[in-house]
Structures are given as C-alpha cells and as structure tokens.
Amino acid sequence: MSRHPWWKDAVIYQVYPRSFCDSNGDGLGDIPGIISKLDYLKELGIDAIWLSPVFKSPQDDNGYDISDYQDIDPMFGTLADMDALIQEAKKRGIRIIMDLVLSHSSDEHRWFQAAKQSRDDPYHDFYIWRDGEPGTPPNDLQSAFGGSAWEWVPEVGQFYFHRFSKKQPDLNWENPKMRRALYAMIRWWADRGIGGFRLDVVDLFGKIPDQKILENGPKLHDYLREMRREAFTAENLVTVGEAWSATPAIARKYSNPDGSELSMVFQFEHIVLDQQPGGEKWDLAPLPLVQLKQVIRRWQKELEGTGWNSLFLENHDLPRIVSRWGDDGRYRVESAKMLAMLLFGLQGTPYIYQGQELGMTNARYPLEDYRDIETLGMHRQRKALGHSEEDILRSIHAKSRDNARTPMQWSGEKNGGFTTGTPWLKVNPNYPQINAEQQVGDPDSIFTFYQTLIRLRKTNPVFRDGTFRLLLADHEDIFAYTRTTDRAQLLIVCNFHGKQIENPLETAEKAIACNYSGESVPGKLRPYEARVYLR
C-alpha cells in the first residue's frame, strides 16, 4: 500500500443532483440520472463524486435543509437507488462522498417537530433556544439569507436560532445526545459503502450566538476530534469541511496529517478577492491578480507538509469561473483551459464542479427566472435599501448561486439533453454551442484538456509532492510557479489576460500540455496562454 492516503492522488467531481441529469422527465435531476452518466465521469478520469445533498428535504435551500438524514428525497429517488449508485460507481472505481449538513437541520425534521412542542421534550435541547419577548429577539444577529437569525415559537415561548433560513434551525452541538445521534447516522452511511463526507459550514459547529461567536467557537476542534473518533471509524474515508473563516493556521488543525480531524477543508480566501473590501460578494470589484498570487502562495506554503489543500474555483454557491476570471466570449476555450491548468498544477486535491469541464458560463437571466433563496433575499433587501434594479441585476449576473445551478449541458437537443420535461431552472441558452456531446472525443475541447490534466496528475508524483515556488510575484498579467521534488520539476506559466504579452520565462523546452495547439509564438504568450513543462 502506498504511504499516501488515496485522496491525495484523487480528483473529485461535484454533482449538484437537482441540475445534473433528469431520468423521469419531471424537470429535476435524480439519482438514476447520475447513474446513467457514470461512464461519462469515468471517461473524464475522476476518482470520487461529491454529491450535494440528496436526503429527504422540503427543499427550502435546495436540500441544505434536511428533514431525514437517513432517507433519500423522493425527487431524487429511493434508498435503493442510492445503494445502486454506490455499487455502480464502485464498479468504475469511483467513490461517493455525501454532503452532511450538521450545523442545522430542516424545521420539518422530526427532532425539531418534537423540540418546538414543549420545553420538556427530550429533543428540545437538540436546538438552540433562548427566552425573550415576542418581537424582541435576544440580539441583532442576522440570518445569511436576510432578516433576524431568531424566530419566535409561541408554543414554547422561546426563540430558536437559525443562521440560514428560518426553515433551517441550528442544531445544538453543546448537547452530547445530539452529537451522538449524528455520529450514529454517519456510521450508518459509511456501512452502506459511502467513501467520504463533505461537512457543510463546519466552522459553525461550536457557535455561541449569545456572544455573537459564530465561526471558530472555542470547542470546535474538540467536537471535530470527537467526531473523527466516533463517526469516521470506517477506513479510508475522505472528509472535507467547508470553512469560509479558515486561515492557514486554522486549516493546519482541521487537516492535521495525524488524521485527528478532517482530510482537508475548503477555504475561500481566493474566492472573496473580487469584491469590495468590507463589502459583500454582491459588491463587485475586479480580480487583483497580484493579490491572488499572494493568497495562493500563502496557502501552498503554509500547508506544505503540515496540512492539505483542497483546490477549487467553482461550486454550487459560486459563479462560473470562465465568466468570472476568464473570458466567456472570444477566448472562452483558452481561458477555461488556462484556469484549469492554474488549479491542477497546485498541491492539494482538485475539485471539478459539474460543467466546469465544459467551460459552462454564467446565466444572465431576467429576475423572474432566478430560484435561489439567497439571490431573492438579497434582491428584496437591496431594493428596500434603495439600490437600483440595474445594479442589483448586475450583481446577480456576476455572483448569483444560480449561475452554477443551471442544468448540465449534455447535448444540443432540447433543454441541452438535461430533461424531456420543463427544467426547474432554465437551461443556459448557449447549450447548442457548449455541451458534452460535442466535447467528448474532440482533441481540442475543454473536456479533453481536463482529461489530460487528470492523467498528468496521476502519472507524475511531482503534482502531489512538489514544493511550491511563485515566480514573477509582481507581474500584472502572468501567474507562474514551479513545483519541485528531488527528482522532477514542473513549471506552470499562465497568461491571465486577453492580450499577447512578452514571456519572460521563455524556454526551448517542450511543454507537456498547452491550451493552444500548434507552434508557439517565440518570446510571447498569446491571450490566456497556459503551458506546463516537466523537467
């Protein structure tokens, strides 16, 4: 056996089930649909699928509000379908990672239904309750989707805390019975053959709302070590936490190589660079490339040998990267490939969000076509604050979570081949030009480029082991770095802009991958040109 855990060599693919593939024509993706696309994923070369939540849920936040952790929502299929997915994926060497939402449940979970009946109910203390008077919440903490984070329940004469929608009451991690119930549920899934877990908003587990401590509460890492011991008992699980507040020092705890907490965390320091300092994601700003390089360098260096990075540019909460940091017009193909190379050259485990491998783009819809609770909440709030409709729509087009949630574009057929019915969210009208059918097997496609990058990572240990060094730190257009072991070195050179520029790193060596075919232009980097050299 290798001395490295499998996930250090793995590439993980995120499926957003609602938007992936609809097998029964109801306009919603489902588990049989995912099974029907496993061969596609196998061909891409990925090792594991992170499934956004498919548990039973009233879908107030598209499944991030779970009403039964041990059942599948009928819109996605049945437990038998889930077992079939695990088995069919396994046949193809693909593991399934489930998305555990443990900071809160749905208000329709039987625990909460019982909890809100009486203060004496044993489940009451599974949630966070505070006394008070109706209309006067315990403090001014706000829900991430707008409005107070406290909701009054007359039956018990108390407020409950909800960081997200009021249909997402926060679980009380102080309660050991509550924690044990979650751990038993996790072991039950691992026994069914689940390969790992993604932990939604893991940094909120130790919150103390009374002191307005939400992230990084004092007991957070105790809880995680306990969870590691009592829940993650199966062998070879991969665990990844979502931690918006992580710094490298904190991430070293989460991803300590001694395995005492998690395998790795998603951190977001690079993701929040293109917004106004002190503002929200909706307050748009251009990407400062020099700063992006500093942030990535810091994470690469500070976790080297002492932790592990997850590498991502997209997920179900973020816009499409080619529209965000590339050019989704003239240089869509080149810039999508450049961003892929930039990411895949780094140390860590890369994640691909569905459609990223096709260079899918942001949707630019009129307001009535958006479905996301966060987007609609922000629209309401900013309207009330007097922002213009035009400004709000500009922010939505750039940053709405629905940008990533438009249905997967499989073919040039009606609805991009996603459904024979009416899709729950409109398909991006560019599906005749951007779809999987067209790209699989085309040597110049974005899909094939991802395939190549995955293959390169699998055959060259320097991708896993090489130490990072940033080159040309102050250059305004080029992101370049090396990765070095005592046996090999990678040089990655990316032109981040849509113009041809001088290449100060010109070399006579032959690139092992490049996003342009044919001869290079001596001494120059073409628009968005990206090359990787192996020496």
Residues that bind ligand TEU (CB under 6 A): 61, 64, 101, 144, 164, 200-201, 242, 244, 281, 316-317, 374, 401
We find the least distance from the C-beta atom of residue 320 to ligand TEU, in angstroms, to be 14
- Identify the burial level of 502 via C-beta atoms within 10 angstroms of its C-beta, where 0-12 means exposed, 13-18 middle and 19 or more buried: exposed
In sequence order, the 6+-apart residues with CB closer than 8 A to the CB of 523 are 502, 503, 506
Minimum Å gap between C-beta 365 and ligand TEU is: 17
Alpha carbons 271 and 128: distance in angstroms, whole number: 31
Q: Which of 47, 151, 170, 200 is catalytic?
A: 200
Task: Determine the distance from the C-alpha atom of residue 488 to the mean position of all C-alpha atoms in its chain, rounded to a whole number.
Answer: 31
CB of 168 to ligand TEU, least distance (A): 6
Least CB distance from residue 167 to ligand TEU, whole Å?
11
Tokens describing residue 30: 């489902």
User: Which runs of E-coded beta strand occur in 203-362?
Assistant: 238-242, 264-266, 310-311, 349-353
Q: Least distance to ligand TEU from the beta carbon of 245, Å?
A: 9
| Residue number with CB closer to ligand TEU (399 or 483) | 399
Minimal distance in Å, beta carbon 372 to ligand TEU? 9
Between 81 and 203, whose beta carbon lies closer to ligand TEU? 203
Beta bridge partners of 490: 483, 534
For residues 239 and 452, which CB has a smaller minimum distance to ligand TEU in the complex? 239
Q: Which is nearer to ligand TEU, 95 or 167 (CB)?
A: 167
Distance CA 226, CA 183 (A): 9
Question: How many other C-beta atoms are found inside a 10 Å radius of the C-beta of residue 122?
Answer: 11
DSSP notation for 452-499: HHHHHHHH-THHHHPEEEEESTT-SSEEEEEEE-SS-EEEEEEE-SSS
Is 242 one of the annotated active-site residues of the chain? yes
- Give the Cβ contact number of residue 146 at 10 Å: 17
CA proximity to 481, closest of 294, 174, 472: 472
| Minimum CB distance to ligand TEU, residue 144 (Å) | 4
Q: Residue with structure tokens 């507040």?
A: 245
Closer CB to ligand TEU, residue 200 or residue 334?
A: 200
Q: What is the CA angle 45-299-397, rounded to 5?
A: 70
Tell me whether residue 201 or residue 427 sits nearer to ligand TEU (CB atom).
201
CB closer to ligand TEU out of 264 and 478: 264
Distance CA 535, CA 531 (A): 13
Q: Name the catalytic one among 65, 242, 269, 529.
A: 242
Q: Are strands 530-534 and 12-15 parallel, antiparallel or unpaired?
A: unpaired
The smaller minimum CB distance to ligand TEU, of residues 84 and 144, is found at 144
Residue 169 burial by CB count (10 A; 0-12/13-18/19+): exposed, middle or buried? buried
> For 531, phi and psi rounded to 5 degrees?
-135, 150
Write down the least CB distance from residue 204 to ligand TEU, Å: 8
Say if residues 410 and 21 touch (Cβ distance below 8 Å): yes
Which residues participate in catalysis according to the annotation? 200, 242
